[in-house]
Amino acid sequence: MSTREKLIKALDCQCNECSHSWLTIEDEKTATCPACKSPDWNKVWQKSEEPQNDEPLSGDALRTWRDNIISQSRLLQAMQKERRVINAEKE
């Protein structure tokens, strides 16, 4: 009986989406990340530079922003009040 030895080269891969690491045989091309199934696991994404708008809000934009904050605050207060009522009923 004879023994055969075969040298297999493995590649250490790491997903750029979920950071999962795995080994794969060099001849086999990995199409997707085994963990998150992303086909873009080996693509390098460049961060786009968005222009910064440092101008203060004014006019309609300021009123809209303020109205949204007030609405969210009222909603949060109503939810907290509802939670207190439910807790009081349980006691």
pTM passes above 0.75: no
3-class secondary structure, 85:
helix
Q: Is 41 exposed, middle or buried (0-12, 13-18, 19+ CB in 10 A)?
A: buried
How high is the mean pLDDT of the chain? 82
* Per-residue pLDDT tens over the stretch 25-82: 877 778 899 999 999 888 887 766 665 666 777 788 888 888 888 898 988 888 888 8
